[in-house]
Amino acid sequence: MDLILADMFPEARLHYPVIFARLIGAIALGGLIGFEREARDRPAGFRTHVLISLAAALFAIISIEAVHMPAFANDEQVRIDPLRVIEAVTAGVAFLAAGMIVFAKGRVKGLTTGAGMWLSGAIGLAMGFGYWPVASFATIAAVIVLYIFQKFETPHDKTAGARAEEDE
């Protein structure tokens, strides 16, 4: 039984409360961006952004922990390349975000939602690697851009509501 418990809770480089705090932070910060998308009734809303941010944070944490596993303790070849982790998350989220972009009836829709998904992935990575201030600042900046800067955009169509619909 002790072996099972030890296997369920292996010794981690980061303490478990720190890991859980980073994951909760990724949920909260990704959720803020997703909440704005949800409020505008976009297909990739709150839950999608939370899951992207959470997944990115988890990939970052697993990357940190994997190189410190006892199985690799004596292996000189095991190293973490943070750029590879960032590249993998970026490519995966970009694939999801590209699926949100649609060209229909001469209009492009979904660019802002796709960009928000991509940013949620970056925020998740920042949280996973422990850069709380950077992730928090990026989230605040994203909310400002999504809520406040939208008021400064000039509509390309003569109808007032057309631009709001075109945004996504």
The per-residue pLDDT for 110 is: 85
Instruction: Report the C-alpha gap between 16 and 156 in whole angstroms.
Output: 51
Walk along the chain (168 residues) and give the pLDDT tens digit of each residue.
777 877 777 778 889 999 999 999 999 999 999 898 888 887 778 888 998 999 999 999 988 887 777 766 666 776 777 788 888 888 988 888 888 888 778 787 888 888 888 899 999 999 999 999 999 999 999 999 888 877 776 665 544 454 455 555
| Torsion sign across C-alpha atoms 28, 31, 135, 120 | positive
Would strands 107-109 and 102-104 be described as parallel, antiparallel, or unpaired?
antiparallel
The per-residue pLDDT for 158 is: 45
The per-residue pLDDT for 50 is: 92
Domain segments of the chain: what residues? 13-166
The per-residue pLDDT for 107 is: 81
Q: How far apart are the first and last CA of the chain?
A: 53
The per-residue pLDDT for 153 is: 65
The per-residue pLDDT for 11 is: 79
pTM above 0.85, yes or no: no
CB 60 within 8 A of CB 16: no
Instruction: Report the C-alpha gap between 128 and 110 in whole angstroms.
Output: 27
The per-residue pLDDT for 155 is: 62
The two structure tokens encoding residue 22: 């980073």
